[in-house]
Structure 1
């Protein structure tokens, strides 16, 4: 059974983002990974954190609406 590390999962997410969202080829994604790996990972982490914050704020908003 193959076990994936957190880094493996992050790399898969980054490759998916480059290919599907930015329209790169796999070769283009490979070159981008070599050049901008750290920058892209930080960007994705920020996006994930912002999405989590947004979800928490929406949950709080819904909770406040039920109180009123």
Structure 2
């Protein structure tokens, strides 16, 4: 995270996005709610988006979603 003036910029990498699939349901919800609340301050580089798209189906495993 970087503060530019009075604005906070949140730069995400592919692993931080893929972690939403690795966390428990409760943790994933907290993480995704935080991203939603701060969506105007989030920056996702193009390369990160490509890596996320490439790997997201490998990370989605229903047995990982434990409370």
Q: Please indicate the TM-score interval, normalised by the length of the shorter structure.
A: under 0.3
Q: Which has the higher contact order (CA 8 A, sep 6+)?
A: 2
Name the structure where strand makes up a greater proportion of residues. Answer: 2
Name the structure where helix makes up a greater proportion of residues. Answer: 1
TM-score (normalizing by structure 2): 0.25
TM-score (normalizing by structure 1): 0.24
